[in-house]
Structures are given as structure tokens and as C-alpha cells.
Amino acid sequence: MSAVDETHDPDLGSRVDSANAPECDFPIQNLPFGVFSTAATPTPRVGVAIGDQVLDLARVAEAGLLETPAAVFAEPALNAFMSLGPEVWTATRRRLSALLGPGETGLRDDALVPLPDVRLHLPIAIGDYTDFYASREHATNVGTMFRDPENALMANWLHIPIGYNGRASTVVVDGTAVHRPLGQIKPPGSDAPIFSPCRKLDIELEMGAVVGTPNAMGRPISLAEADAMIFGFVLLNDWSARDIQVWEYQPLGPFQAKAFATTISPWVVTRDALAPYRVAGPPQDPTPLPYLRQDAAMNFDVDLAVDYLPAGGAMATTIARTNFRHMYWSSAQQLTHHAISGCAMRTGDLLGSGTISGTTADSYGSLLELTWNGRDSLPLDGGAERTFIEDGDTVTLRGWCQGQGHRIGFGQAAGKILPAVDF
């Protein structure tokens, strides 16, 4: 488990002035990793966000200021660096913290690039993507909505983290527009389905855990090993076609309703950076089987918000606020269960937490819950209303850990919905 050390000191300042502002997402205590390019150097490479700048790690390593080989930072994804393992992750973070401190460090002038001048890319080469269903509040709401409220949770839900395999090929980075999906839907009262653009397009407010190191096929892993395998976390919006989903999901679960797009934030906030924000999850009753029992704090205190900008609107409305700490099944439990059968997890695999909902109506992580499947309209600033997402609307996820005089920000994961593609 990551330890709290000198890199988390709330009094630690940076030579990059903008990183010292209390509202900055990327103070020196954060140092999230991403992949960027510029007009002058269009080849994507690895960088770290600090204030309103990006530190070009390839240039820093080439100058001999890092022990980590420069070649891993010249890659268009974080996978090569992540594959070096937790000891290298921690050592690199500590060295970067020293380099970006207030003293003279010998950094080249061109090692820092203004954030407005860069293009941010998908930070990892994703081999496989699995999405879970791990918020008790969300699962209870959905079960109440579509089944018996007295039996909202399925019999297995309190015993295992429920998940399904998603599509890594359609995971996209913040700012990528998404076309409304086409598919089969069965209108109310109809005896047969029709082919149509989705009419109930939704979001799912999630966090994504990024697997940094693999396990061998056939070898289960412990909770402690799973925790150590996680490099860091991103914001994740698993866009959902609710009307397509309700028709297709029995008996094998979501398919086309979730395959068309998943948006993640461009910066991976490391597990090391989150060490001061570990918290215990909700009590688990019944007690999980031994391989899933937690004896340490495995959840994280991450504030989350959803902003909604309707087509033609002048301002966004924050429609939901919740926290990652509420998750019934932690990311470490999800990863442990994923590998327990002998499944080989690989560097760059992505695990979606599942929709994160709280206990109050303004803390639900989907429009399905916020409008109770379209029964209630959601008022937006400026007079607009929504039940589900319309063409031209933009949804943005935000997240941060609140520290003492600083915050550990995740940036954002935003996407605009475009009309379905005709063919």
C-alpha cells in the first residue's frame, strides 16, 4: 500500500507559481501522468501536469535528471513506464517532486510546456476494459426501478463484484465527440422491436482504475497484490443507451448499449498521490469470502461532480455531486475477483468502478436515476429541462480530493453528443 511521505506535505511549494494556487487541480502534491503533443513536436510523449504547465519527461530524462530510461517517456502511451512496477513509480514521483520544488534544479527551459499549447491524448494503450456494478445505492435504485423494490439487489450482489467486459476500442479521451448510437429498441406497448437511434441516452459517473503491472494466467492474486498492481485512476463516463440496454441485456448483460463510447480523463492520478485520501468503505454484510475480505482502507475520498450544458446553452448546470468513497466494492476487490479464476490482467487494462451514486437524489450518478427513467424532468440553469441527453448537449465529469490548502484534481472527462450517423 502506498505510504504518505514528503511528497504529500501540504506546505510543499512548486517553482511553477500556478501550481501553488489552492484551487489548482495539479499542485506539486499531485503530479498526474498523461500523454501530450504540440504543434512543434507532434509525436505524442509522456508528461506530468504541474499547475498550468506540462513537464516533458522525455526531455527531463534525456538531460540525465531521471534514473528512469528516457525511452519509456518517448512512447505514445504510459504502458512502458507502468510496466516498470511500483518501486519505479514511487521513485520517479519523488524525483519529480524534488525537481519541481522551489529551488534551482537545472530543468531545461523547454521542459515545461504551457497546457493551452498541448494536445492531450488517450494516456494508456488499453488491452481490455471491464465495467463493474459496485455502488449499492445505484444498484438498489435500478433494481427498485425495474424489479421488486423489496428485492432490488440480486442474490449474488452482496457476495461478488458484478461486472461485464466492455469495448476497449471505443474508449476515448476527454473532448472527443460521441455519436448517438443506433440499435434495436422495443417501444412500450409494442410486441416487436424497431431499429432506431437511441431515445434514452445517458451517462454513468464512474472512476477508472488503471492496471499497471500484470499477473500470470492461471495465478490468482491477493487483495494486497491487486492494490499494488493499480497504477492510478481516471474519471470515466460509460455512456449508456438505456432503451437499447433494457431490450438486450437479458440473459447475458449489456452489449451494444455500452459498446459505442466510454470517455476518460487524460490525466492518470497515481495511487501514490492518493495515499492521504484512503478511507474505509461501507460495512460489508454478509462478510465476503476470505479472498475478498479487506483489513485495510481501500476506498478513496474523491469528490465528484457532473456538469450539464444543453445545446445552445450559455452555462452548465451541476446536476449531481457524490463521492468515490461510497463504493461498496473497492477497485482492489474488483481486480482481485477479476483475476481469481486465473484471468490474466495486463498492463493498461481498465476497470470501471460502476456508476457512483450517493444516498440523496442530488447525488445520483446517472440520468436514469436523476429523472427516475424519464418520469421526472431535470431543470437546468437558463430554463431548459432534460430527461435524457439530446443532440448537441455536453456532459462533463469532474473530480478532486480536497487537501489542506490544495486539492488533487483529476481534470475533466467531457463529451458532446452528435446526431446518429445515417447509413
Q: Which residues are catalytic?
A: 138
Length of the chain (residues): 423
C-alpha span between 210 and 232 (Å, rounded): 5
Q: If you write DSSP's letter for every residue of 147-191 in order, what string do you get?
A: S-GGG-S-TTTTTS--EEE--GGGEEETT--EEPPEEEE--TT-S
Q: Which of 203, 257, 258 is nearest to 235 (CA)?
A: 203
Task: Let me know if 416 is exposed, middle or buried by CB neighbors in 10 A (0-12, 13-18, 19+).
Answer: middle
C-alpha span between 171 and 161 (Å, rounded): 22
Q: Which of 146, 74, 175 is nearest to 415 (CA)?
A: 175
> 201 in helix, strand or coil?
strand
The amino acid at 13: G
**Contacts with 203 (C-beta within 8 Å, 6 or more apart), sequence order:** 237, 238, 239, 240, 306, 365, 366, 367, 389, 395, 397
Q: Cell numbers for 326, please give them.
A: 461510497
C-alpha span between 390 and 314 (Å, rounded): 16
Cβ-count burial 77-101 (b if 16+ within 10 Å, e if not): bbbbbbbbebebbbebbebbbebbe
Q: Cell numbers for 88, please give them.
A: 519505479
Q: Distance of alpha carbon 97 from its chain centroid, rounded?
A: 24
